[in-house]
Chain A
C-alpha cells in the first residue's frame, strides 16, 4: 500500500516539477519581452526613463541573473507563496488575486462534477435497462458530450438571461450589492451561479451517462452475470453487481477528465463574466499579464494533481482487487 501511494506521490511531484519548469521556461524562450510590455504599460515614453524602468523591472524579476540562479529564485519564491505581481491588478500580488477568484471557480466545479457524475451514472444505468429510455438518452448524451462548454454557456445565457430574463447575465453577484452575509446577497449569489453551473453540469452529464450505459451493458454480458442468470438469480441482483463493477472505470475516468473539465469551467466563466479563475485568465491574456497567467497555471496544476490523488485514494478504497494486488495476493 505504501509503495503504491509512494509511487503515485512521486509521479505527481514529478509532474508538478515538470509543469512548473515548463511554466518557468516558456517566457524565457518565447519571442517577445515581458519587461518591454510592462514598460509600455507604464506609459513612460522618454528613452532615459524607459531605460530606467527596464532596469527596474529586470532587477525586480531577476532577469539579469544567470539562468540557474533565476530558476532557483523561482522555486524559492514559489515555496513562499510568492507568485509575483499582477499587471492587470495594478501591482496586487498574483497570489491574492488567485485566492480571491478561486472560491468562485471551486463553487462551480465541485458541485458540477459531483452532481453530474452521480446523475449521469444513474441515468446511464437506467438507460441500459429500458429500451425507450436508451433511445432518448443515448443520442442526447452524444450531443451533450460533443457540445463545447462555452457554446452551451452562450445558449443558456442567451435564452435564459437575455431573452427570458430569468437569470442575470453576468458577474458573481449584482453590481448594486455589497458582499455581506445577508439572505438577499446569498440568493443573488446563487442566481448568478445557476447558469454557469447548469452549463457545466449538462455537458459533463452527457459524457457520464453514455459511459455508464456502455459499461453496464458490458458488465451485463460478462461471465459472472451469465453465471448468476444460469443459477436463476433475479435481475435485481445481477444489475446490482453490474452497476458496482461499472462504477470503477468511471472513477478512473473522472481523474482523466479533470483537465478537460477545468478547461470547460474556464471558458464558461468567460461567457458569464463570472469572477472566477477563468475570468482572470481571460483578463490576464487580454492585458498580457504573464505573471498572473503563470500563477493561475500553477494553481490549476496543483489543484488537478490533488484531485487526481484523491481519486486514486477513493479508487483503492472501492476496488478490492487493488488492495489484494498490493498485498501480493494474486495467485
Chain B
C-alpha cells in the first residue's frame, strides 16, 4: 500500500559523459499520501518522476530499487514495466496539453487505449462518464477532437484518462506550470479529490511551485542537485524547515498580502553545480551560509524527527 524507493540512481547519457541527474535517493510515500516533490530546475525531480514510469532513450538505470505495494517495480526493463504502467503506476505528464492524438476523437482514443490494455471499453465507459462529470467537463467531450478543447480542459481530460484504472501511484509532473492561477487551483483541487475518492492511492506531485504544494500536499520532498535535501510534512517544511536550502527557498517566497517596500526579496545567490562532475560532499556547500569543514563529506539523509528527514551535517550533527 505504499511506495518505497531505495538508493535510486538514474543517469543521462551524453557525449560529454554521464550526467548524474538522480544520484541515490531513498524515501517512501505512504498510502493516501500526497507528496510534493520540489526543487529548482535541474535538481532531478522530473528525472525521478519519469524514471518511475518510463525511462526514455537517454536515461540509464544505474542502481537502486523501487517497491510498490510490496512488489518490486522493474523500472530497468521497458517490457517488464508494461503491466505496471497505467494500472499500478500512472503519469499526468508535463506536456498534457499535447498528449492526445490531434487527429483522433478523444473518446475513440480512450477506447483504443483501453482495449489495447486488455479492457472492454463498454465496461469502463460508465466510470469514465462519471469521472468526466466529476472534473466538470461535458460528456460530449468524448466526441470532440483535442483541438476543440481549451488548455485547462485538455489538462483535466488527461487527468481523467491517466487515473482511469485507479493506479496505486500517480505521478503529476509540472501539471500546473502552464496554467493561469485560477485554473491551477481547479486542477490542484481535482488532484486532491481524486485521492479522496480513492481513484489513486498515493501521489507524487512534481513542481517548482511550493505554494501549490502548500495547498494540497501532505508532505514535501525537497531535492537539490540530484540528491534529497529534506522531507517533512508540509506544515513543517513551510514553518520550520531545517535544511539551509529549504530555509532559503521558503524565505524567498513573498507572502500574500504583505507589501515589501524597503526590503529586497532574498534569493539564493549562486547556481546549482554541474551534474556532469558534481562536487564531493554536500552539493549545496558552495551556496550554503552554514557550510563548515564536515560538509566536504556527503551528509546522509537521516530522520531527525518523526517523519522528518534532512541531509545536513549542521542539522543531524557531525557524527550522524
What is the interface of chain A, defined by CB distance below 8 A to chain B? 222-224, 226-234, 236-237, 241, 244-245, 248, 319-321, 324-325, 329-331
B274 within 8 A of A: no
Write out the residue numbers on chain B whose beta carbons fall within 8 Å of the beta carbon of A236: 116
The residue in B91, B102, B161 that gathers the most chain A C-beta atoms within 10 A of its C-beta is B102
B residues 60-88 with Cβ under 8 Å of A?
81-87
Q: Closest B-chain residue to A231, C-beta based? A: B86
| With contact pairs A233-B116, A233-B117, A320-B145 given, residues A227 and B82 touching in the complex (Cβ less than 8 Å) | no
Whether A330 and B86, one on each chain, are in contact in the complex, defined by CB atoms closer than 8 angstroms, is no
Q: List 10 A-B contacts (CB under 8 A).
A: A224-B98, A224-B102, A226-B93, A231-B113, A232-B83, A245-B103, A321-B147, A324-B147, A324-B148, A325-B147
When each residue 160-174 of chain B gets 1 if its CB lies under 8 Å from chain A and 0 otherwise, what string results?
A: 011000000000000
| With contact pairs A223-B99, A224-B101, A248-B103 given, residues A230 and B91 touching in the complex (Cβ less than 8 Å) | yes
Q: How far is the CA of A320 from the CA of B98 in the complex (A)?
A: 16
B150 within 8 A of A: yes
Write out the residue numbers on chain B whose beta carbons fall within 8 Å of the beta carbon of A320: 103, 105, 145
| With contact pairs A224-B99, A329-B148 given, residues A233 and B53 touching in the complex (Cβ less than 8 Å) | no
Nearest-Cβ distance from residue B61 to partner chain A, whole angstroms: 16
B309 within 8 A of A: no
Write out the residue numbers on chain B whose beta carbons fall within 8 Å of the beta carbon of A223: 93, 95, 98-99
Q: How far is the CA of A292 from the CA of B181 in the complex (A)?
A: 70
Q: How far is the CA of A244 from the CA of B101 in the complex (A)?
A: 10
Q: How far is the CA of A18 from the CA of B145 in the complex (A)?
A: 39
Other A-B contacts than A223-B98, A227-B100, A329-B145, 12 sampled, CB-CB below 8 A, are A224-B100, A226-B93, A226-B95, A230-B53, A230-B91, A231-B162, A232-B83, A232-B86, A236-B116, A241-B101, A330-B148, A331-B153
Q: Given A241, A329, A331, which contacts B104 in the complex, CB threshold below 8 Å?
A: A241
Q: Closest A-chain residue to B78, C-beta based? A: A229
* Overall SS of chain A's interface: helix
Q: Given A222, A230, A324, which contacts B54 in the complex, CB threshold below 8 Å?
A: A230
Whether A232 and B145, one on each chain, are in contact in the complex, defined by CB atoms closer than 8 angstroms, is no
Q: Closest A-chain residue to B105, C-beta based? A: A320
Q: How far is the CA of A329 from the CA of B146 in the complex (A)?
A: 10
Nearest-Cβ distance from residue B305 to partner chain A, whole angstroms: 36
Nearest-Cβ distance from residue B94 to partner chain A, whole angstroms: 9
Q: How far is the CA of A140 from the CA of B86 in the complex (A)?
A: 41
Nearest-Cβ distance from residue B110 to partner chain A, whole angstroms: 10
Whether A237 and B145, one on each chain, are in contact in the complex, defined by CB atoms closer than 8 angstroms, is no
Write out the residue numbers on chain A whose beta carbons fall within 8 Å of the beta carbon of B266: none
Interface size band for B: 35 or more
Whether A229 and B54, one on each chain, are in contact in the complex, defined by CB atoms closer than 8 angstroms, is yes
| With contact pairs A226-B93, A321-B147 given, residues A245 and B116 touching in the complex (Cβ less than 8 Å) | no
Nearest-Cβ distance from residue B49 to partner chain A, whole angstroms: 11
Whether B100 and A234, one on each chain, are in contact in the complex, defined by CB atoms closer than 8 angstroms, is no
Q: How far is the CA of A236 from the CA of B82 in the complex (A)?
A: 14
Nearest-Cβ distance from residue A41 to partner chain B, whole angstroms: 59
B149 within 8 A of A: yes
Write out the residue numbers on chain A whose beta carbons fall within 8 Å of the beta carbon of B113: 228, 231, 233, 237
B residues 267-292 with Cβ under 8 Å of A?
none
Q: Closest B-chain residue to A222, C-beta based? A: B98
Q: How far is the CA of A241 from the CA of B82 in the complex (A)?
A: 19
Whether B103 and A319, one on each chain, are in contact in the complex, defined by CB atoms closer than 8 angstroms, is yes
The residue in A229, A230, A236, A329 that gathers the most chain B C-beta atoms within 10 A of its C-beta is A230
Q: Closest A-chain residue to B171, C-beta based? A: A230
B residues 135-162 with Cβ under 8 Å of A?
145, 147-150, 153, 158, 161-162
Write out the residue numbers on chain B whose beta carbons fall within 8 Å of the beta carbon of A248: 103
Write out the residue numbers on chain A whose beta carbons fall within 8 Å of the beta carbon of B117: 231-233
Write out the residue numbers on chain B whose beta carbons fall within 8 Å of the beta carbon of A330: 147-148
Whether B101 and A245, one on each chain, are in contact in the complex, defined by CB atoms closer than 8 angstroms, is yes
B47 within 8 A of A: no
B112 within 8 A of A: yes
Q: How far is the CA of A324 from the CA of B162 in the complex (A)?
A: 26
| With contact pairs A324-B145, A324-B148 given, residues A230 and B85 touching in the complex (Cβ less than 8 Å) | yes
B219 within 8 A of A: no
Write out the residue numbers on chain A whose beta carbons fall within 8 Å of the beta carbon of B112: 237
Write out the residue numbers on chain B whose beta carbons fall within 8 Å of the beta carbon of A331: 147-150, 153
Q: How far is the CA of A319 from the CA of B102 in the complex (A)?
A: 10
Write out the residue numbers on chain A whose beta carbons fall within 8 Å of the beta carbon of B85: 230-232
Write out the residue numbers on chain A whose beta carbons fall within 8 Å of the beta carbon of B81: 232
Q: Closest B-chain residue to A232, C-beta based? A: B85
B46 within 8 A of A: no
B202 within 8 A of A: no
Nearest-Cβ distance from residue A158 to partner chain B, whole angstroms: 46
Q: How far is the CA of A329 from the CA of B148 in the complex (A)?
A: 6
Write out the residue numbers on chain B whose beta carbons fall within 8 Å of the beta carbon of A237: 112-113, 116
Write out the residue numbers on chain A whose beta carbons fall within 8 Å of the beta carbon of B162: 231
B residues 90-135 with Cβ under 8 Å of A?
90-91, 93, 95, 98-105, 112-113, 116-117
Q: Closest A-chain residue to B158, C-beta based? A: A227
Write out the residue numbers on chain A whose beta carbons fall within 8 Å of the beta carbon of B148: 324, 329-331
